Every structure is written in structure tokens, then in C-alpha cells.
Amino acid sequence: MFRRLSEHDAYGQNYAAFGVIQTGKREICLIDSGDRAAGESVAGWLKERGWRLAAIYHTHAHADHIGGSATLQQQTGCRIWAPERECDAVCDPRQNVSMLYGGYPPTLLRVPLLMAEPSAAKVLSAARLPEGWEVLPLSGHSPGMVGYRTADGNAYIADCLCSRQLLEHYPLTYIYDVAAYLRTLEKVKEWDAALFVPAHADPTTNIRPLAEYNADTVHRNAERICAICRKPTGFDDLLAALLSAGGMTLTAARYALVGSTLRSYLSWLCDLGRVRPLLIDYRVRWETVK
């Protein structure tokens, strides 16, 4: 069920990879919990082998990373720790969907893909970390995302970057703060680790090439947006142009995820002085600054 990485470290894989760290005799901690199916699988694995789950350490509050936590907490009584800026959304996952949607989300968005079940998380502090662990700041993909370097020297770096294969199909992956995201990629390129374990790419000893590819993808996305906005363009028309160019169909979830990401790109480009909003006839159109 788990792929071993080192003496104490392993990871599980569903849609997003999660860390499985042995912290004592027949005792583990998790770094994230995957989706609900992953949580149920881990709970079954623990029961069959008589192992104990001591705690879950979350990187951020997105559903594919916290979806198994409620099940595991109910079945094992484990403690759950989350970064300060992510903790409230772990306890009340509607906050994530509200941020994507820009208001209280309709029922069609309150689905497991976007909204996990709530769990009782507490704010992470250094005193709560297992011995030898280090918190790695990774803001950008979400407001307060972190990673963890374990005592074995492996860096679990969550969603700070994606695989080349994923970006080739979905170049507009979710980003909350584009400027912070790019700063994080610059930091990650300089880090050392026995292994880097991203949530959406294979473990690697050398993260620099993939970090550079992710940064290049952001800049290519920016160029596409600026090219489309040479003619003043409304938000929905801009979103439609980007989705159709990528051969993607429009679903409610994709409208929320890609739409929120597009707003983040427009904010970043506006702050850089590369695009500007035009308020015309009660409508907003975005125009590239020449």
C-alpha cells in the first residue's frame, strides 16, 4: 500500500501523495491524509496490523489532502495539526469552496472533490513536531501551505509544484497567490533533501529542473493571458479562450478552480502593470497595457 523511501519514511498515493512516517514501535504519523478513500484504506491497514496513528500533520486545507482526516480521526482518535493560516479551513472546509467561488458556494460545488468533511484540527507549533522534523514554508498554492522535512532528511513539499505530464494537460493548475508561488519555487530550487516528495509528481533527488519548468509554465500562462487581452476582454470570454485552447470542457468544478486561478493571475499582472481593468457599461474588461 505504501512505497518506502528510507528507514522511517514512506508515502501513499491516490490523487495526491501523502507521507507515512514511522515515529515509534508500531506507530506512524501522516503528512496529509489523501481523500476519503485513502483515509479508509489507511484505517483498514492500521487495524489489520495493530499499528497506531499518532497524528496527522497537514500541509494545507485542500480536499485531496484532508479528505481522509475525518474518517481517521473518528476511527483512531488521532490528533490533527495544521498550519495557522490553514487550520480554520480544515475544521470548516466550506471556507475553501467559498474562496474558490467568491461567495457562499452552491450545492453543486459542495462535493468531495472540492470540500472534505470537517475534522478537529489544532494550530501547529514547533513543540508538536516529531523529533528531527522541520516545517518548510511553501505559500502560493494556498495562503499558508507548508511542507515538512523529516528526520530522515526527506522533504514532503505538497502542491508547490506539479509534474510535467500534469502541466502539459492542465497548465492552469490552481494558484492562490502567483507572486508568492514564484518566490516559493525560487526557494525550493536551492533546498537540499535526501528526497523531495511532491504531492503531484514522482519523488526526486533533484527538484531544480521541475521547479524551473513550473515557473516557466506560470510565465507562459501570463503571456497567453496578455495576448488574449490585447483586445479588451471580459472575464468569462478570457476563461473560455484559455479553456478551449487547452481542449478542456467546462464543468462547475473547473469553472471554480480555473476561474479562481485566473483571477489570481489577473491580480498579479495588474500589480505588475501588465494588464488593467476597464469599467465600461457596467462591465469589467481586461486590457493589456501597451
Number of H helices, E strands in the chain: 10, 14
The CATH number of whichever domain residue 32 belongs to comes to: 3.60.15.10
Q: Is residue 109 part of a domain?
A: yes
Whether the CB-CB separation of 274 and 226 falls below 8 Å is answered with yes
pLDDT score at 171: 94
Chain CA centroid to CA 286, Å: 27
Identify the segments of the chain with pLDDT beneath 50. none
Q: How many C-alpha atoms does 255 have within 13 Å on its Cβ side?
A: 13
Domain around 131? 3-136+144-158+195-200
Closest residue by Cα to residue 35 from 145, 112, 120? 112
Three-class DSSP category at 268:
helix
Domain tally, the chain: 1
Q: Is residue 217 part of a domain?
A: no
Q: Is residue 263 part of a domain?
A: no
Q: Is residue 189 part of a domain?
A: no
CA 10/CA 8 separation, integer angstroms: 7
Q: Is residue 23 part of a domain?
A: yes
Question: In angstroms, what is the C-alpha Rg of the chain?
Answer: 20
- Amino acid identity, position 43: A
pLDDT score at 248: 83
pLDDT score at 26: 95
CA 44/CA 75 separation, integer angstroms: 10
CA 63/CA 94 separation, integer angstroms: 10
Q: Is residue 290 part of a domain?
A: no
Q: Is residue 66 part of a domain?
A: yes
pLDDT score at 232: 97
pLDDT score at 177: 98
pLDDT score at 256: 94
CA distances from 268 to 100, 150, 159, 262, 273 (A): 17, 33, 20, 10, 9
- Phi, then psi, of 21 in degrees rounded to 5: -120, 125
Q: Is residue 274 part of a domain?
A: no
CA 94/CA 104 separation, integer angstroms: 8
